[in-house]
Chain A
Amino acid sequence: MHLSQIVPPQFRLHRPRYSAISRMHFGNRQLAQVVSLIVVAIVMIPIAFVIIRALGAGQEGIDYLLKARNLRIVGNSLALMLVATICASVIGIPYAWLTSRSDLPWRRAWLVLGLLAMVIPSYLTAVTFTEAFGPKGMLQDLLEPLGVERLPNIKGFFGATLTLTVVTFPYILLPARAALLHSDRSLEEAGQSLGLDRWQVFRRVTLPQLRPALTAGMLMTALYCLSDFGAVAVMRFNAFTRAIFVQTESFRMDKASALALVLIGLTLILLLIHSHIQHRGRHYRIGTGASRELQTMSLGVWRFPALLFCFCVVFVSVAVPLLVLLSWLIGRTISNPVQVPISLLLQNTVPVSAAAALVVTMAALPLALLAMRKESRTNRWLVNLAYTGNVLPGIVIALALVFFASQNMLSLYQTLPLLIVGYAIRYLPFGISATQSAFEQINPRYEEAARSLGLSAREALIRITVPLARGGILAGSALVFLNVMKELPTTLILRPIGFRTFATHIWSAYDEAFLSSIALPGFALIVVSAFALAIILRREDTAH
């Protein structure tokens, strides 16, 4: 129906439309539990690895964590997370409103252009930003006639915040837009009839209705900021992921693990805060569907500032990276002796990403079924555990699987199946939430009707529930696909020898500064991702 299908349940935008209690017979419970147990056991491998390694550090690890520098890392990460999330919201909310409820010209085009920011990998955005906005970058070139000799260095907190803001604002835009499209227009009319002006109506009626969607989107953005490596690495901002990376670089897995444990702790606190807020905000009735045609509001003279706003957002978040890539493509830079045809990268990246999306979707199915049964504490724990996978940095997940596979399943080591397992651990939550939300949108009576007409639980699942949830599940798969395509750290370590993807090729070229060979795969990656985005968007629109 909307982004709720591709947002983890903790981030869920809308109260499930149908209660869990009425789903006693949803699918085959024993089978779902057994399969879920297996999936969760696999997901727990990296966590177990981190705990074992961190315990190995012992007292030294604790002393290390308590060093002032490491406490500063916590502060850095939190500051980055907070500021980037607020900035993303400040951009995302008006952008959502303009593209859903106003008479802004070319609304659809603005929406698509804005969302494109999501498909550009954060490391690529960061690299192109340093090129464009660096002290002697392209912006300075333009400003040279005005007497600007050099710009302040954007690296550090500012650069990391800017990068994360532009790559995460679509995660606010999508849910906010969905909620705006579904919000109850009659409430706004009630507000107007009580004498509120437009702004007051937005602030006092519309915005509170958006709250569940916004807290969900903001949580997602916050988690993205905590777990992102590309932006902080390129911008050299000492946040958790970068600190963990530096530790692994110096062969100190124990200290890296100790840091990772703190990161997991922070994430859990964030999830707790969110579920608390979500619980409190329960009385909002978002997602029950507006029975009335939504009216667009005329912008009047505000149309021009609004257009300028959208233009600026799209220019910085999408046009600047693409323009920099273009300039590298046509500019004279050192040519890479390793020439890899785009078709080969395409041939490697797309099937493996599609397979990962498929595996995630399949693995998510039983967990989503369990998540629908709220009656059991065990089930709840299983589902929550399945979520822990994506908070760990990719390199930690990858090394954990290296450890596991090289000791126990050597025949699986350095094969695509293991790489896909790594991807699946990272992106399983996307699949669970998409499937779960898609199921929750379905009237449970459909399945009961099927049961009373003689179908078994499994048949009813296959003939009724899955076909009806197809769109939402597909949108979730598309999001997994999108993320796997640009995934770097896991790919680098777990890939079969000689296997190249867009991400590894871009990394390798960037590593030796072969800028022109970043550009072409960069473009190709963005084009393919845009197709996945189109699936998500089509799903959004057919739902209305």
Chain B
Amino acid sequence: MPVKRFTLLVTLICLAHGAWALPAAAQGNDTLTIYSGRNESLIGPLLDQFVEETGIEVEVLYGGTSAVANQILTEGENSPADVFIAQDGGALGALAAAGMLSALPEEVLNLVVDSAFVSPDGVWAGLSGRARVLVYSPEGLDDTGLELPDSILDLSGEEWRGIVGWAPTNASFVSNVTAMRVLLGDSETAAWLAAMIANDVQSYPKNTPIVQAVIDGEIVAGLVNHYYLFRFLAEDPEITATLHFFPDGDPGSLINVAGAAILNSSDQPELALQFVEYMLSDSAQAYFAAKTYEYPLVATVEPSVDLPSLEEIESPEINLSDLDDLQETLEMIEDSGALD
């Protein structure tokens, strides 16, 4: 009977297939479980390098930073995760607020070049830095006769109507708006958001399409993280698009971090700590510099591309741990109509 045959076939395929083993049960003593909110393309090769150098086996779950944080929050005490790697401080803050992270030792936190890039209660450490910038097309600027703005707030001016891009749901953008709220206050931030929307700001799902849109001439400028442009440049050095860092401590030039934390519920805290230490080693930091074009966060490694140094950027004075008030910001962005 063909139905039976079909059943048999599927059963055989399933049995023959390795992934049917139960991973939780199969997990050996030396296996570290990492939940990564950073994309595999960014961090996968570095994890391979870690495995190769330390001999510690890892299992990595990849997903969006918020989705993975949600998953850990939902799993609670039973989370299989030992380490959480996040794209931004906000998600780390959410887990810290839920009391799910364990404190990192002082000497690890001290590896990070600036205390602004670790959590004040010492439960997470920044691994790499990313600066918020304005990516723009010089040709577009020439065509419109515009000057580079001194502040992110200037982008709501009439002269920028319809030619600026942002990614309102992107976590880095949300952090940036949170920073604006901290620095400028809620009402001014909300007013800016409303003015931007009234100014026909173009919305994108994430940073890369904004850079692409600037390169394609779809828009003249866009609010992004600094490193996306270098990926395009690596493929095509002819690209003329350039970065602009807002001066004078403008909230538009916030420096945020991607970070890592160890979960309370980890059954491999030593391995987890070893992992975090490795991520702050020179070789890992050099990887971030060379491969993701991010800022290394240890004193001994320099950025690999033509970037102003961290000290040169006139970034705003802000405590990144203040940026965990994600919900209020999202509500404000939502209320502004940016998501409609």
Q: Do A and B bind each other?
A: yes
Which residues of A come within 8 Å of B, CB atoms? 69, 72, 76, 134-136, 150, 153, 155, 233-234, 236, 238, 242-243, 246, 248-253, 332-338, 347-348, 350-351, 354-355, 358, 395, 399, 402-403, 406-407, 410-416, 466-467, 470, 473-474, 492-493, 496-499, 508-509, 511-514
B57-84 interface mask toward A, CB cutoff 8 Å, 1 = contact, 0 = none? 0011111101101110111101110000
Q: Which of A355, A395, A412 has the most CB of B within 10 A?
A: A355
In the complex, chain B residues whose CB is within 8 Å of the CB of A333: 235
Q: Is the CB of A249 within 8 A of B17?
A: no
Question: Cβ of A514: which chain B residues have Cβ within 8 Å of it?
Answer: 41
The answer, among A338, A416, A474, for a CB contact under 8 Å with B40, is A338
Complex CA–CA separation, A350 to B32 (angstroms): 29
Q: Which residue of B lies closest to A236 (CB)?
A: B203
In-complex Cβ contact of B76 among A134, A407, A511 (8 A): A407
Q: In the complex, which of the residues A234, A238, A395 contacts B67, with contact meaning CB atoms closer than 8 Å? A: A395
Q: Which residues of B contact A242 (CB under 8 A)?
A: 339
**A160-B153 Cα distance, complex, nearest whole Å:** 31
B76 adjacent to A406 (CB under 8 Å): yes
Chain B residues, Cβ within 8 Å of A512 = 39, 41-42, 208
Partner of A511, one of B23, B206, B217, B234: B206
Of the candidates B13, B22, B203, the one having the most CB atoms from chain A within 10 angstroms of its own CB is: B22
- How far, in Å, is B96 (CB) from chain A's closest CB? 12
Q: B334 near A: Cβ within 8 Å?
A: yes
A416 adjacent to B208 (CB under 8 Å): no
B121 in the interface (beta carbon within 8 A): no
Q: Which residues of B contact A335 (CB under 8 A)?
A: 235
Q: A351 near B10 (CB under 8 angstroms)? A: yes
Q: A238-B340, A246-B339, A351-B14 are in contact. Are A251 and B70 (CB under 8 A)?
A: yes
B140 to chain A, nearest CB (A): 12
CA distance A242 to B79 in the complex (A): 27
Complex CA gap A95/B36 in Å reads 46
Q: Which of A333, A492, A511 has the most CB of B within 10 A?
A: A511
* Residue of A with least CB distance to B232: A334
Chain A neighbourhood of B59, CB < 8 A:
497-498
B33 interface residue (CB < 8 Å to A): yes
> What is the distance, in angstroms, from A121's C-beta to the closest C-beta of chain B?
16
Of B1-9, B241-249, B270-278, B304-312, the stretch lying at the interface with chain A is B1-9
Check if A248 sits within 8 Å of B66, measured CB to CB: yes
Does the CB pair A72–B340 fall under 8 Å? yes
Q: Is the CB–CB distance between B205 and A338 below 8 Å? A: no
A496 and chain B: residue at smallest CB distance? B23
A-B contact list, 24 entries, CB within 8 Å:
A242-B339, A249-B70, A249-B169, A251-B326, A252-B327, A338-B44, A347-B17, A402-B71, A402-B74, A403-B74, A406-B75, A407-B76, A411-B24, A415-B23, A474-B3, A474-B6, A496-B23, A508-B39, A511-B39, A511-B206, A512-B39, A513-B208, A513-B209, A514-B41
> Is B213 engaged at the interface, CB distance under 8 Å to the other chain?
yes
B206 near A406 with CB under 8 A, answer no
- The docked-state distance in angstroms from the alpha carbon of A252 to that of B284 is 34
Q: How far is the CA of A416 from the CA of B216 in the complex (A)?
A: 42
Choose from B66, B80, B234, B335 the contact partner of A249 (Cβ within 8 Å): B66
Q: Mark B282-316, 1 if CB is under 8 A from A, else 0.
A: 00000000010000000000000000000000000
Residue of A nearest to B95 (CB): A251
Residues of B within 8 A of A498 (CB): 59-61
Pick from A135, A136, A399, A473: contact of B3, CB under 8 Å = A473
Instruction: List 7 A-B pairs, minimum CB-CB distance, nearest first.
Output: A513-B208, A249-B66, A406-B75, A250-B330, A136-B218, A497-B59, A406-B78
Q: Which residues in A have their C-beta under 8 angstroms from that of B216?
A: 136
B10's partner among A135, A355, A402 (CB-CB below 8 A) is A355
Partner pick for B69 among A251, A355, A415, CB 8 A cutoff: A251
Q: Given the complex of chains A and B, what is the CA–CA distance between A467 and B213 in angstroms?
A: 56
Specify the chain A residue showing the minimal Cβ separation from B81: A497
Distance between B130 CB and nearest chain A CB, rounded to angstroms: 14
Contact B205 A410 (CB under 8 A): no
Which of A249, A348, A407 has the most CB atoms of chain B within a 10 A radius of its CB? Answer: A249
The answer to whether the Cβ of B212 comes within 8 Å of any Cβ in the partner chain is yes
